[in-house]
Structure 1
Amino acid sequence: MNANAPLAASRPALYLLALLGKDIQGSLSPQLYEHEARRQGLRCSYQLLDFAQRGWEAEALPNVLRSLETLGFTGCNVTHPFKQQIIPYLDQLSPQASAIGAVNTVLFRHGQRIGHNTDCPGFISHFRRNLPGVNIERVLQIGAGGAGSASAYGLLEYGVKHLALYDRDTARSEALYQQLLLHFGSDRISITHHPQQALANSNGLVQATPIGMSGHPGIPINIDWLTPQHWVADVIYVPRETELVLRARAKGCQAIGGDGMVVFQAAQAFELYTGLPADREHMLAIFQQACVTPA
């Protein structure tokens, strides 16, 4: 079976979907998927399974997956902190998910759990759309978890000449470095233990840690390290504009949040779930409307 194959022509009467993660009550995924499904004449119910809210530990992950399968779910999305933890409980990975080493979309098909990564193309589509023409010769990325794995792979595939990785958890940055070495030359990737110096030698910054998202307030770097010559891309979308993005713009930097990334990755995941093309502009409009007037 081709792990990338979309759903066959016979479609379920109801698409049951869920998001697995912690502190995800601000997620707009239900609106994105349910509105796009309704636009296409489909029935869809999207549930937030917030491990923090429900008091579940990470060890519950395999039982949650088993329950979703038993209940007839089409699949589920996966967010922080489970994008890498979920892999041992899957039967197959798409080629891109395998290369990245992280999963954000799981399909339940014919008794198999198939992991995909739509974060990577979602991030690059958003980056290309909102930071066109920026210098990508040298980039510093902070954060080497699930989202960081996708953005790092996407940046190198997109053409970044050198990517420096920093994570407070050095084992995590080392693991991502080794994963990327399987696909890109060692001259294009490095680990830094001195983010201030690395940023001074970089054209832009990718922020891929949870710091700044709802439930994890703050800013992950010293804002004085940024100059107007830097661009900034934050993968966080709740809040839509993090403190880092706002303060970077105040310093004269081009800076984007993760709103487009979440919409574009959701659009590709929708296509995997349904086998139908998603209207990305419509989903962007739904996202923007939901940010102004939450459902």
Structure 2
Amino acid sequence: MTFGLIGNSIAQSRAPALHQLLGQLHSLPLSYHLHDPGAATAIAFQQQLAELIARGYQGCNVTLPFKQIAINSAAQPDRAARRVGAVNTLGFGDTIRATNTDYTGFIRAYRHRRADRRAGRVLLLGAGGVGRAVAFGLTDVGTERIDIFDLDPVQATALARALCDEGVHARTVTAEQLQDRAARADGWVNCTPIGHYTTPGCPFELAWLGAQSWVFDAVYTPIDTPLLIAAADAGLDLVTGFDLFFYQGLDAFEFWTGIAVDEAAARVAFMDKFALQSALI
């Protein structure tokens, strides 16, 4: 069985390690490869996807910047993909199936860290593919309101409208409103690349930390991002990018193979095999 990941700047991805380990745990001859088309265009994505299908792959994951583009390639998007309007997992066969395990994976990650505690009022940065998935995931874990900021106001508005169409209290905010909304939020959510090893920094002003209850950072390379380190020091609950990476990976593996993974055993095996060092996971 052969799978892969299509995206830009993915050289540091741990996806091959996770999926190959899951294959080993279930005695499957599984390989997983990284594919960076270079250009961030629909044509570049389609060419890469066609190459994987021609080479006999059984499916692939999709990451930045192709998650919203990829849904147009699927003949059978499931409810999660249709709801979010973006996909991160494709299965190949007579037709292309699609799902969004960022959506399901975020819900699992949040509940792993916070059980049944409600998300409350959330400030979300980033309305792209992963931002859309996490925003809809928040509706399943008790969000009361989602304030959305994106450097592309059209993208932020589209997400707010999609959420409002489902009866969710969502609105866009401007850069000038960020400090006020951050102070009023129960949870901060980063779905931008800021904090990634290729785009270092912190997406929020850490001086705004105070009365919040929890923080989520979608970035997982590195695992200990400046945002999560500061939130941990402030005593907030953390939902890490590693959590999302791990659970979306499990959901993708199950989507492709139909095998239910023992998540506790898989987590221990992965951390042991790769000697992951982090105070946050």
TM-score over 0.5 (shorter chain): yes
Give yes or no for the alignment of 1:86 onto 2:67: no
Q: How does 1:173-212 map to 2 (within 5 A)?
A: 173-185=156-168, 188-193=169-174, 194-212=177-195
Q: TM-score, normalised by structure 2?
A: 0.91
Residue 170 of structure 1: how far off its partner (Å): 0.7
Amino acid at match of 2:261: A
Secondary structure of the corresponding residue to residue 158 of structure 1: coil
Where does residue 104 of structure 1 map in the other structure?
88
Amino acid at match of 2:62: V
Identity of aligned residues (%): 33
Where does residue 233 of structure 1 map in the other structure?
216
Q: 1:229 to 1:159 in 2, by over 3 A?
A: closer
Q: 1:267 to 1:281 in 2, by over 3 A?
A: same
Tell me if structure 1 keeps the 8 A contact 2:101–2:251: yes
Give yes or no for the alignment of 1:119 onto 2:102: yes
The number of residue pairs the alignment matches comes to 274
Tell me if structure 2 keeps the 8 A contact 1:77–1:104: yes
Q: How does 1:12-23 map to 2 (within 5 A)?
A: 15-23=1-9
Secondary structure of the corresponding residue to residue 292 of structure 1: coil
1:37 aligned to 20, 23, 34, which one?
A: 23
Q: TM-score, normalised by structure 1?
A: 0.87
Give yes or no for the alignment of 1:144 onto 2:127: yes
How big is each residue's C-alpha offset from its partner over 1:215-241, in whole Å with a ceiling of 9 and x where there is no partner?
111111111011154321111111111
Tell me if structure 2 keeps the 8 A contact 1:21–1:49: yes
Distance 2:273 2:97 in 1: 30
Q: How does 1:263-278 map to 2 (within 5 A)?
A: 263-278=246-261
Q: 1:202 to 1:229 in 2, by over 3 A?
A: closer
Pairwise CA RMSD: 1.8
Q: How does 1:53-72 map to 2 (within 5 A)?
A: 55-58=38-41, 59-72=43-56
In structure 1, runs of 5+ residues without a counterpart are 1-14
Q: 1:133 to 1:199 in 2, by over 3 A?
A: farther
**Larger relative contact order (CA 8 Å, sep ≥ 6):** 1
Secondary structure of the corresponding residue to residue 165 of structure 1: strand
Q: 1:233 to 1:290 in 2, by over 3 A?
A: farther
Amino acid at match of 1:272: F
Distance 1:34 1:252 in 2: 35
Where does residue 240 of structure 2 map in the other structure?
257
Distance 1:284 1:32 in 2: 9
Where does residue 243 of structure 1 map in the other structure?
226
Q: How does 1:43-54 map to 2 (within 5 A)?
A: 43-51=29-37
Distance 1:138 1:56 in 2: 37
1:283 aligned to 259, 266, 274, which one?
A: 266
Secondary structure of the corresponding residue to residue 106 of structure 1: strand
Tell me if structure 1 keeps the 8 A contact 2:147–2:170: yes
Amino acid at match of 1:180: L
Tell me if structure 1 keeps the 8 A contact 2:149–2:172: yes
